[in-house]
Amino acid sequence: MTTLAAKIRTELSTMLNNSADCVTRELGPRLAVSYISGVIDTSKLQESILEPLAYGMEELTITAIQDHLPIGEIEAAHDMDDIVVRLLRGWVWIALSDETGTMIEGLLCNASNPPSRKPGVSLVETHVLGPSISFTESISVNTGLLRSYITNPNLTNEELEIGEKTRTRLSLFYLKDTVDGEHLDRIRERLSHIHVDGLYSSAILLSMLQDNRYTLFPLMTLSEKPDRAVQALLEGKTIIFVDGDSQVLICPSTFADMFFSVEDRYSGWGIGLFLRLLRLFALFISLFFTPFYVAALTFHYEVIPTQLLLPLIESRSKVPFPPFLEALLLEIIMELVREAGVRLPTKVGQTMGIVGGIVIGQAAVQAGFTSNILIMIVALAALGSFTVPNYLMSSSIRLIRFPLIIMASLWGFLGIVVLMVAFTIHLFKLTSVGRPYLFPMYPFRVKDLINDLLLTPKSYHTAQTMYTKNEGAGSSAISSSTSSSDIDD
Confidence (pLDDT) at 191: 94
Strands 248-251 and 221-223: antiparallel
> For all residues of the chain together, what is the average pLDDT?
84
Confidence (pLDDT) at 252: 92
123 Cβ contact list (under 8 Å, min separation 6): 134, 224
Confidence (pLDDT) at 472: 38
Is residue 475 predicted with pLDDT exceeding 50?
no
- Distance between CA 31 and CA 40 in Å, rounded? 20
The three-state secondary structure class of 68 is helix
- Per residue in 80-122, pLDDT tens? 888 898 898 889 999 888 766 677 678 999 888 877 778 888 7
Q: What percent of the chain has pLDDT over 70?
A: 88
The three-state secondary structure class of 25 is strand
Confidence (pLDDT) at 112: 86
Q: How far is CA 79 from its chain centroid?
A: 34
| 161 phi, psi to nearest 5 deg | -120, 140
Which residue spans within 98-237 are E strands per DSSP? 103-110, 155-162, 168-175, 221-223
Is residue 459 predicted with pLDDT exceeding 70?
no
- Distance between CA 120 and CA 136 in Å, rounded? 8
- Per residue in 140-173, pLDDT tens? 899 999 999 999 999 999 999 998 888 899 999 9
Lowest mean pLDDT among 92-96, 110-114, 394-398, 469-473: 469-473
- Distance between CA 245 and CA 203 in Å, rounded? 9
Confidence (pLDDT) at 486: 44
- Distance between CA 466 and CA 480 in Å, rounded? 16
Determine the length of the chain: 489
pLDDT bracket for residue 485 (50, 70, 90): very low
Is residue 47 predicted with pLDDT exceeding 70?
yes
Span 453-469, mean pLDDT?
Answer: 55
Q: What is the pTM of this model?
A: 0.82
- The dihedral built from the CA positions of residue 461, 463, 469 and 472, taken in this order, carries a sign that is positive
**DSSP 8-state assignment for residue 48:** I
Q: Is 130 left (phi over 0), alpha (psi -120 to 50) or beta?
A: left
Span 13-35, mean pLDDT?
Answer: 88
- Distance between CA 246 and CA 266 in Å, rounded? 23
Is residue 281 predicted with pLDDT exceeding 50?
yes
**DSSP 8-state assignment for residue 259:** G
- Distance between CA 132 and CA 362 in Å, rounded? 38
pLDDT bracket for residue 446 (50, 70, 90): confident
Calculate the alpha carbon distances from 89 to 44, 73, 155, 160, 283 in Å. 15, 13, 25, 14, 45
- Distance between CA 62 and CA 66 in Å, rounded? 6
pLDDT bracket for residue 477 (50, 70, 90): very low
- Per residue in 260-275, pLDDT tens? 888 888 887 788 888 8
| 413 phi, psi to nearest 5 deg | -65, -30
- The dihedral built from the CA positions of residue 53, 58, 60 and 61, taken in this order, carries a sign that is negative
pLDDT bracket for residue 481 (50, 70, 90): very low
